Amino acid sequence: MSSDARVPAPPARRTPSLKERLVPALISVVSVTVFFGTIAWLVTSAEQWPRIRFQFFNPDAIMAAFPNVLRGFGINMMVWAIALVAIGVWALILAVFRSLNGPILAPLKVFSIVYIDLLRGIPSLLLVLLFGFGVPALQIPGLPRSSLFWGSVAMVLGYSAYAAEVYRSGMEAVHDGQRAAAKALGLSQWQTLYYAIIPQAVRNVLPALLNLAVALQKDVALLSVIGVRDAVREAQIYTARTFNYSSLIAAAILFLIATIPMARITDYVARKDQERRLQRTV
């Protein structure tokens, strides 16, 4: 259109010169190097440093312990992955129970409330000991007697109480109008949950659930106390034999390799979720 010609063009954005971009970056690099370099120098020049290095950061010991620790870490991650799926399902069932209305369904609601109160109030370590040592000791025929199995069950039962509360908050955050619309269309209570409420609730709480997943990723190490030969247990076995703690550092490194990317993914999902919410309000 001709009228557009009269509108003054916006001022062209000046592209910063190479020098203008380079100098701040250079300053950052130098200051970071100086800061951490000084700390490193202070630590390594300390009188006790050679002993610390030998006990904790001994490359030979790390290499020697690594194969067993890595195998143990495989068990950690396997337990984590299976427990994650089990928690995702069981916690959702608990949250649905808790949201139910109507006198006939009251027992399920009460069960869920009591369950969540109890299991959230007991330390995970205690649950792991109770199930991991206690249940196999009963020697009930037909039940598995592996402490790995029962320890994992304890983790699932305990974490589900937390995850159920997360799901519940997500379900409550779904707008009332959605329930009204579902009811007006003739959807039953179950259909309303299944087709309308739960999908929206899960989307709402995905970042919070992922945070729990990161916490669980570390907490699976609790199974080491009931004799499961996970990364921590294997590291302890090495330490007991050699009086060198570098194997624990090896285990720590493996956990970091797993948890840091997981935390980054959680941040990413949370940011996307935030953007989605902002977009909707515009």
Instruction: Enumerate binding residues for other proteins (CB under 8 A).
Output: 175, 177-178, 180-181, 183-187, 191, 195-196, 199-200, 203, 279-280
Complex with other proteins: residue 179 or 218, whichever CB lies closer: 179
Instruction: Name which of 164, 204, 202, 200 is nearest 182 in CA terms.
Output: 200
Q: At how many degrees (to 10) do helices 246-281 and 59-99 cross?
A: 40
DSSP symbol at 224: G
Complex with other proteins: residue 111 or 195, whichever CB lies closer: 195
In one-letter notation, the amino acid at residue 221 is: A
Residues present in the chain in total: 282
CA distance 62 to 11: 60
Q: How far is the CB of 170 from other proteins (least distance, A)?
A: 12
Instruction: Name which of 51, 61, 54 is nearest 247 in CA terms.
Output: 61
Complex with other proteins: residue 5 or 282, whichever CB lies closer: 282
Q: How far is the CB of 175 from other proteins (least distance, A)?
A: 8
Complex with other proteins: residue 69 or 197, whichever CB lies closer: 197
Complex with other proteins: residue 35 or 195, whichever CB lies closer: 195
Complex with other proteins: residue 120 or 179, whichever CB lies closer: 179
Q: How far is the CB of 1 from other proteins (least distance, A)?
A: 21
Tokens of 120: 């959230």
Instruction: Name which of 26, 229, 29, 221 is nearest 147 in CA terms.
Output: 229
Cβ-proximal residues to 220 (8 Å cutoff; 6+ apart), any chain:
76, 79, 80, 83, 155, 230
Complex with other proteins: residue 29 or 181, whichever CB lies closer: 181
Complex with other proteins: residue 57 or 195, whichever CB lies closer: 195
Q: How far is the CB of 182 from other proteins (least distance, A)?
A: 8
Q: How far is the CB of 177 from other proteins (least distance, A)?
A: 4
Q: How far is the CB of 88 from other proteins (least distance, A)?
A: 18
CA distance 135 to 212: 26
Instruction: Name which of 224, 80, 225, 206 is nearest 155 in CA terms.
Output: 80
Q: How many CA atoms lie within 13 A of 208 on its CB side?
A: 15
CA distance 244 to 62: 9
Q: How far is the CB of 199 from other proteins (least distance, A)?
A: 5
Q: How far is the CB of 143 from other proteins (least distance, A)?
A: 40
DSSP symbol at 103: G
